């Protein structure tokens, strides 16, 4: 740990491909934008350890350049590249007190989105970025005790660091942490870039041969600690169903794997202050919530019926999210009383299925095929039941938001959904509804339970209030991360 005349400081460099508010595409953007500031805020009595100087590093995406007009130049350097080394530059900006390094270089192309439709271009961009971070460290007057990478996009940095630690003294005390947000995405299309940048194939016999040059498996191999984004997902990745062919290797690393639930920005997601809502409310004024539902029904030309359960889906439309399970299950429940509002984009076939469902049930289904963050907030404040029939869900954020807004989640019992939703024999002790099998039948049975309970206003209000009282703050999760950082730093003494 870095010495100080006052309280000792533990330095952490957090690597990510995206981070709100600078750039956000998916859930990783929420985590990378919220966890580093939460770590920096830790203090007594909740945290008695060293002060955490957490900094973030991102590729200098074009979208960020539109928001950060005058970043401070930090350094120019070269990134090893057979034939001709590539130039890179690092800049520094401040986001609400969080230092953020931004790296640019030829593979981080102008006008290129965060995630390209050309997987090979993404592969080169993120391999370059991962190596550039290590070169940048040689030019800073600040050095990390912990290098914390996220997903395949930055995992190569840990493997490259492990190689450099053998003969570069300045790197030897840095501990390595890797968070898994979505195991199936391993960076397989980065294999050519790994070769191009001189990164050697792993000879470790524990890795399947096909994985010996993929960034994520190599990061998992090199990491001192592996963090899955929920305790449930930490267990699931050790199984054939969810391990993506790495389950046997991951079992050899079992003692290094921890599950820590992602948090929720409870200031941003707050029905008492959310400017997107027609009517703001709290757990004490829950009766005010009904105006949001009424207005949404009116705006979408749905029958304005307070006693009809309003189901909502707010999701990326793909197979992982089980949207097809929900559509088939709802067709099975056609004789029951419900309305559905669906918001999302994704797989064109699933988009078409959603539109077909609306055509079949024009008096009670609205399929809104677009991304609309503000409208999503209105849906959370209006819906009675959030549907999350995911085939797998490493953590999930929507169910936490829904509970915060008094919308009751109904989800498959997998990953972070099982960890965050309580489905008890006594409904008055529950926060939602879970089903085990990823099938329309199991989904429909869970929905039937919800529809039977919905008319019981007293019980339903208890379920809503139970959910609204859950503490999903980043503060709780940040302490768990800080403990791991401190444990690793102590090992270097």
pLDDT along the chain (493 residues), means of 10: 66 97 91 96 92 97 93 96 92 96 95 90 96 97 97 98 94 96 96 95 96 98 98 97 97 98 92 97 97 98 97 95 97 97 96 98 97 95 98 96 98 97 94 98 98 97 98 94 96 79
Residues 483, 350, single domain; the answer is no
Q: How far apart are CA 296 and CA 388, in angstroms?
A: 21
Quick one: 215 and 310 in the same domain?
no
Cβ-contact 367, 305 below 8 angstroms: no
Residue 58 and residue 204 in one domain:
yes
The reply to whether 481 falls in a domain is yes
Give burial (CB, 10 Å; 0-12/13-18/19+) of 7: exposed
Is the domain of 48 the same as that of 94? Answer: yes
Q: What is the pLDDT of residue 5?
A: 47
Does residue 322 lie in a domain region?
A: yes
In which domain, by residue range, is 232 found?
9-263+474-491
Pair 304, 231 in one domain:
no
Domain count across the chain: 2
CA 288 to chain centre: 31
3-state class percentages of the chain: helix first, strand second, coil last, to nearest 5: 40, 20, 40
How high is the pLDDT of residue 2?
A: 54
Residue 269 in domain = no
Query: What pLDDT, on the 0 to 100 scale, is given for residue 117?
Result: 87
Same-domain status, 176 and 65: yes
**What does DSSP say about strands 385-388 and 72-79: parallel, antiparallel, or unpaired?**
unpaired
Q: Which stretch of DSSP H or E encloses residue 111?
A: none
CATH of the domain at 183: 3.40.50.2000
Tell whether 233 and 99 lie within a shared domain. Answer: yes
Same domain, 248 and 307: no
Is residue 360 included in any domain, yes or no? yes
88 shares a domain with 22: yes
The answer to whether position 278 is within a domain reads: no
Residue 22 lies in a domain: yes
Q: For residue 162, tell me if it sits in a domain.
A: yes
Please tell me the predicted confidence (pLDDT) of residue 1.
60
Same-domain pairing of 314 and 460 = yes
Same domain, 345 and 251: no
Same domain, 446 and 486: no
* pLDDT score for 6: 60
270 within some domain: no
């Amino acid at each position: 740990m870095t010495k100080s005349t006052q309280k000792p400081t533990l330095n952490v460099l957090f690597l990510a491909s995206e981070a709100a508010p600078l750039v956000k595409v998916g859930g990783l953007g929420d985590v990378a934008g919220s966890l580093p500031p939460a770590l920096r805020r830790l203090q007594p009595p909740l945290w008695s350890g060293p002060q955490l100087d957490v900094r973030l590093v991102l590729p200098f995406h074009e979208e960020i350049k539109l928001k950060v007009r005058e970043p401070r130049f930090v350094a120019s350097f070269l990134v090893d590249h057979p034939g001709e080394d590539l130039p890179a530059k690092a800049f520094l900006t401040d986001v609400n007190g969080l230092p953020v390094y931004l790296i640019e270089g030829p593979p981080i192309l102008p006008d290129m989105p965060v995630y390209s439709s050309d997987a090979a271009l993404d592969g080169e961009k993120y391999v370059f970025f991962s190596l550039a971070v290590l070169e940048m460290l040689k030019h800073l007057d600040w050095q990390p005790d912990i290098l914390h990478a996220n997903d395949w996009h930055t995992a190569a940095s840990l493997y490259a660091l492990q190689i450099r630690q053998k003969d570069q003294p300045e790197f030897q005390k840095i501990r390595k942490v890797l968070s898994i947000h979505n195991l199936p995405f391993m960076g397989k299309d980065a294999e050519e870039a790994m070769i191009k940048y001189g990164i050697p194939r792993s000879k470790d016999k524990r890795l399947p041969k096909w994985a010996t040059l993929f960034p994520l498996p190599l990061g998992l191999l090199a990491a001192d600690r592996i963090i899955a984004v929920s305790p449930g997902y930490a267990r699931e990745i050790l199984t054939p169903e969810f391990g993506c062919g790495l389950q046997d290797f991951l079992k050899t690393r079992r003692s290094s794997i921890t599950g820590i639930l992602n948090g929720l920005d409870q200031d941003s997601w707050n029905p008492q202050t959310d400017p997107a809502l027609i009517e703001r409310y709290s757990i004490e004024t829950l009766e005010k919530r009904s105006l949001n539902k009424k207005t949404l029904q009116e705006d979408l030309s749905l029958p304005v019926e307070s006693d009809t359960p309003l189901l909502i889906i707010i999701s990326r439309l793909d197979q992982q999210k089980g949207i097809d399970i929900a559509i088939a299950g709802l067709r099975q429940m056609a004789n029951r009383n419900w309305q559905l509002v669906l918001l999302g984009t994704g797989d064109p076939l699933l988009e078409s299925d959603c539109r077909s469902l609306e055509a079949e049930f024009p008096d009670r289904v609205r399929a809104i095929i677009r991304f609309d963050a503000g409208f999503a907030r209105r849906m959370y404040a209006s819906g009675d039941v959030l549907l999350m029939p995911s085939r797998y869900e490493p953590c999930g954020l929507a169910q936490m938001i829904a509970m915060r807004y008094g919308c009751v989640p109904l989800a498959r019992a997998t990953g972070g959904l099982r960890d965050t939703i309580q489905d008890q024999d006594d409904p008055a002790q529950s926060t939602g509804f879970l089903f085990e099998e990823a099938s329309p039948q199991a989904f429909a049975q869970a929905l039937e339970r919800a529809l039977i309970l919905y008319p019981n206003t007293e019980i339903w209000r208890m379920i809503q209030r139970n959910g609204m009282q859950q503490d999903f703050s980043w503060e709780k999760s940040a302490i768990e991360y800080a403990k791991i950082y401190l444990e690793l730093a102590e090992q270097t003494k």
